[in-house]
A and B are shown apart, each in its own frame.
Chain A
């Protein structure tokens, strides 16, 4: 569904992403991991059109989307959430979701001014669709919550609203930027379950950027690891987690070498997965 070919992004002299290529198939859940500064968010910004790649190309369902403006890319079926939440704080919960339905609507200005039956039908449809997307998250975003301003929501609910808003654009590919940031283990487990449901019930293909390895292990069909803007490993979670270069990126060279010998060293005492394993 999504294909990056030799994507490079330079900011002046800084090479943020170098020669990155990977592909995501329909119905897959792929995780993008890497230490902070590896270029994961830059990759996401390039895919969603906020930056244009310096070199290389991106194809969504065969059509090139490199260099298109973000709203055009969203219209083609790609939606994202933001790492630092960017909700429309002063709008109500339901309005946040209804506003994001814009690319799938077609009411013209004259229809809006005259309130034609076609316009009214579309408004009802948008409202219904918004309620349906919010229902995905259970009772916590329903009922009286619809008309409350978004700034009154707790952090976890804001994250859920952000995902619901992205779903309202009716994408085929959903990009989640650190969906579990700032969540406790119980909430992280909920998110893990939710992402699985998004694929099974919602039918979305999902690309996740995440630091929490428990979440990554729980959901990923495939994992891609980045470091300094380059891909250093790709494969199943186990393959990537035990890859020497990945361990070196996260924990340093000393730990990587002790891993290679196959012996659990007294000092490091862990594979990458165990370092992040808290709840199990």
Chain B
């Protein structure tokens, strides 16, 4: 670059050249990102709407319904945490108020049976009001202190629902059962939409899908307006936002109220779907999963919240069944190998080398130590699992060996990540992948509940290390 060029925007001028160098996949992603979100979203929703027509498996439709429910909750939480930047750990309380409130308005608990539209609108209003009230501490507290206070509210809610089945009211002689205590409220009215009573999983899936679409549109419109800009400004620098005339306190309360209203709507639909609500439905474990979804997808990003909800609902379910779990594992390992190792042919060579190693080890073991070999701990007769089990060898105390090798594999992976010489890493990866397959077959595939948690933990740790702003988030710059 000669002296004349300094100051001129070389970077922008070469943008086209850089874009061309990104490769086909990168270019496709760019086109997707630049497309009209309504068009892309519309197509995805149309595809999703076809789901109940494509499968009659209620289990799958139920999972899809859960994805929509968590998507709604993640969107609502995204408004409070992602847009306004307020750390709210009491979000489950709003979900619970929506659920219990709807239960009290449309069941035999008090004999009130409000029609569906009325009940839903009332609950959205009530939870929005609750959001305003809970948001009042946010005006004076920030960060960790706000987190503690809101967490307190969440615990209070669970405590109240657990104990308010024997409340002494001044005007009644016997204690009144308000929330049903640990047994919750049962026999809640199902939703009535346009005169039809919804009782099937597919019906509730459509209601949740419609609610998700509606909330997405509403939030996107708010995002592109003066309120959205003001929320982002207040998240960046609250003092500067206030100095520029934005009513910071009102905006914070608005964020709380809108987040709460979305949770209330979800809670009401949830209550009608399950036809029962218990205090355990709204505990802290769910809140942590929800936060993981929002952070994974990217704080402040609408498609991110839905993507996070999708991933963290679907992957644990996929890991439940042995076939799908294997598919996920082997497919994931192969895909990562081919994606991350460049040039591509080296990835292919690596996989072939691992296969060869497996066969070689099996040959040697069968020749010399065939007596001490046994069967797989969790034998599978068909599919990918059967192939893998025939490729590997299993010593007699497979469980013990598996445990030991688990630790060794983690050590190897950590060592590989620290090495600099690519040939050394390549060489070390071959036995590592083989041992990883062995550990999977002996220990992880045999205990799916443990594996699910391990997998989730690994995904979250990897993502937060290599992409801390989440899948769809933009890397944020702090004061520089």
Determine whether the beta carbon of B480 is less than 8 Å from that of A79.
no
Contact B477 A90 (CB under 8 A): yes
Q: Confirm or deny: A82 has a beta carbon within 8 angstroms of a beta carbon on chain B.
A: yes
Given A70-B243, A88-B240: A102 touches B229 (CB 8 Å cut-off): yes
Return the chain B residue nearest A175 by Cβ. Answer: B243
As a 0/1 sequence over residues 87 to 106 of chain A, the CB contacts with chain B under 8 angstroms (1 = contact) are 11111000100111111110
Question: A90 with B236: in contact, given A105-B226, A112-B227 (CB under 8 Å)?
Answer: yes
- A119 & B245 in contact (Cβ 8 Å cutoff): no
Q: What is the bound-complex CA distance between A33 and B224, given in angstroms?
A: 42
A198 surroundings in chain B (CB, below 8 A): none
CB <8 Å contact, A95 and B229: yes
Q: Indicate whether A71 reaches chain B with its CB closer than 8 angstroms.
A: yes
A99 and B229 in contact, given A90-B236, A90-B474, A91-B236 (Cβ under 8 angstroms): yes
Q: Please tell me if the beta carbons of B245 and A74 are within 8 angstroms of each other in the complex.
A: yes
Q: Is A208 an interface residue (CB 8 A)?
A: no
Q: Which residue from B222, B236, B477 sits with its C-beta under 8 Å from A112?
A: B222
Cα-based distance from A65 to B479 in the complex (angstroms): 31
Contacts A89-B236, A91-B233, A99-B233; A79 near B244 (Cβ below 8 A)? yes
Chain B residues with Cβ below 8 Å from A87 are 237, 240
Is B175 engaged at the interface, CB distance under 8 Å to the other chain? no
Q: Note all chain A residues with C-beta closer than 8 A to B226.
A: 98-99, 101-102, 105, 107, 112, 126
A79 to B229, CA, bound (A): 18
In contact, B232 and A88 (Cβ under 8 angstroms): yes
Whether B225 and A123, one on each chain, are in contact in the complex, defined by CB atoms closer than 8 angstroms, is yes
Alpha-carbon separation in the docked complex, A99 to B248 (Å): 13
- Cβ of A264 within 8 Å of any chain B Cβ, yes or no, is no
A265 CB to nearest B CB, Å: 45
Counting chain A CB atoms within 10 Å of each CB, the highest count among B225, B237, B248, B479 belongs to B225
- Given A70-B242, A80-B243: A91 in contact with B221 (beta carbons within 8 A): no
Q: Give the chain B neighbours of A144 by CB distance below 8 A.
A: 9, 12
Least CB distance from B258 to A in Å reads 9
Interface string of A21-53 (1 = CB under 8 A from B): 000000000000000000000000000101000
- Contact yes or no, A103 B225, CB < 8 A: no
Query: Which residues on B sit within 8 Å (CB–CB) of A99?
Result: 226, 229-230, 232-233, 241, 244, 246
Question: A114–B222 Cα gap in the complex (Å)?
Answer: 9
Q: How far is the CB of B13 from chain A (nearest CB, A)?
A: 11
| A165 on interface, CB distance cutoff 8 Å | yes
Contacting residues of chain A (138-174) with chain B, CB-CB under 8 angstroms: 144, 149, 151, 165-166, 168-169
Pick the contact of A75 from B232, B245, B254, B479 — CB < 8 Å?
A: B245
A149: chain B residues within 8 A (beta carbon) = 477
- A113 beta carbon closer than 8 Å to chain B: yes
Task: Write the chain A residue with the least CB distance to B232.
Answer: A91
A46 to B157, CA, bound (A): 42
B218 (CB) vs chain A CBs: closest residue: A113
B419 at the interface (CB under 8 A from A): no
Of B222, B237, B244, B480, the contact of A74 (CB 8 Å cutoff): B244
Which chain A residues lie closer than 8 Å to B225 at the CB level?
107, 112, 119, 123
| Chain B 198-227 residues near chain A, CB threshold 8 A | 218, 221-222, 224-227
Residues of B within 8 A of A101 (CB): 226
Minimal Cβ-Cβ distance residue in A for B237: A86
Which of B243, B248, B476 gathers the greatest number of chain A CB atoms within 10 Å?
B243
Which residue of the partner chain B has the closest CB to A95?
Answer: B229
Determine whether B137 belongs to the interface, using a CB cutoff of 8 Å to chain A. no
Question: Counting CB contacts under 8 A, is B247 at the interface?
Answer: yes
- A257 on the interface (CB 8 Å rule)? no
Per a CB cutoff under 8 Å, which of A104, A119, A123, A151 touches B477? A151
A119–B222 alpha-carbon span in the complex (Å): 11
What is the distance, in angstroms, from B262's C-beta to the closest C-beta of chain A? 13
Q: Count of A residues near B, CB < 8 Å?
A: 41
Report how far A100 CA is from B474 CA in the complex, Å.
Answer: 22
Contacts of A109 in B (CB 8 A): 222, 227, 254
Does A50 lie within 8 Å of B230, measured CB to CB?
Answer: no
Instruction: Tell me if B239 is interfacial: C-beta within 8 Å of chain A.
Output: yes
Q: Which residues of A contact B241 (CB under 8 A)?
A: 88, 99
Nearest CB of chain B from residue A183's CB, rounded to whole Å = 17
Contact present for A103 and B246 (CB under 8 Å): yes
Pick from B222, B233, B254: contact of A88, CB under 8 Å: B233
B245: which of A86, A100, A107 is its contact (CB, 8 Å)?
A100
Determine if A121 is an interface residue (Cβ-Cβ < 8 Å). Answer: no
In the assembled complex, the CB of A176 is this many whole angstroms from the nearest CB of chain B, namely: 13
Q: Is the CB of A88 within 8 A of B237?
A: yes
A193: interface (CB < 8 Å): no
What is the chain B residue whose CB lies nearest that of A112?
B225
Tell me which of B224, B247, B254 has the highest count of chain A C-beta atoms within 10 A of its own C-beta: B247
Cα(A169)–Cα(B474), bound, Å: 28
A95-B12 Cα distance, complex, nearest whole Å:
21
Q: Which residues of A contact B237 (CB under 8 A)?
A: 86-88
Q: Which of B12, B237, B244, B479 neighbours the largest number of chain A CB atoms within 10 Å of its CB?
A: B244
Cβ-based interface call for A69 (8 A): yes
Tell whether, in the assembled complex, residue B221 and residue A102 are in contact, meaning their CB atoms are under 8 Å apart. no
Quick check: A69 and B477 within 8 Å, CB to CB? no
B242 touches A89 (CB 8 A): no
Asked if A253 CB lies within 8 Å of chain B CBs, one says: no
B221 proximity list for chain A (CB < 8 A): 112-115
CA distance A91 to B300 in the complex (A): 12
The smallest beta-carbon distance between A52 and chain B, in angstroms, is 14
User: Which has the most chain B C-beta neighbours within 10 Å: A50, A99, A102, A165?
Assistant: A99
- Shortest B284–chain A CB gap in Å is 31
Q: Chain B residues near A88 (CB, 8 Å)?
A: 232-233, 236-237, 240-241
Q: Are A113 and B477 in contact (CB under 8 A)?
A: no
Of all chain A residues, the one with the shortest Cβ separation from B227 is A112
Question: Which residues of chain B have C-beta atoms less than 8 A from A119's C-beta?
Answer: 225
Which chain B residue has the least Cβ–Cβ distance from A166?
B244
A7 to B479, CA, bound (A): 33
Residue of B nearest to A115 (CB): B221
Q: List 27 A-B contacts (CB under 8 A).
A: A71-B246, A71-B248, A82-B240, A86-B237, A88-B232, A88-B240, A89-B480, A90-B232, A90-B236, A91-B229, A95-B229, A98-B226, A99-B230, A99-B241, A99-B244, A100-B244, A102-B226, A102-B245, A103-B245, A105-B226, A107-B226, A109-B222, A112-B221, A113-B218, A119-B225, A144-B9, A166-B244
Interface residues of chain A, those whose CB is within 8 Å of chain B, are 48, 50, 69-71, 74-75, 79-80, 82, 86-91, 95, 98-105, 107, 109, 112-115, 119, 123, 126, 144, 149, 151, 165-166, 168-169
Q: Beyond A74-B245, A103-B245: 7 further Cβ-contacts under 8 Å?
A: A71-B245, A71-B248, A103-B246, A112-B222, A151-B480, A166-B244, A169-B244
Task: Across the A-B interface, give the 10 residue pairs with the lowest CB-CB distance, nearest first.
Answer: A103-B245, A74-B245, A86-B240, A99-B229, A88-B236, A100-B244, A112-B225, A151-B477, A99-B233, A70-B242
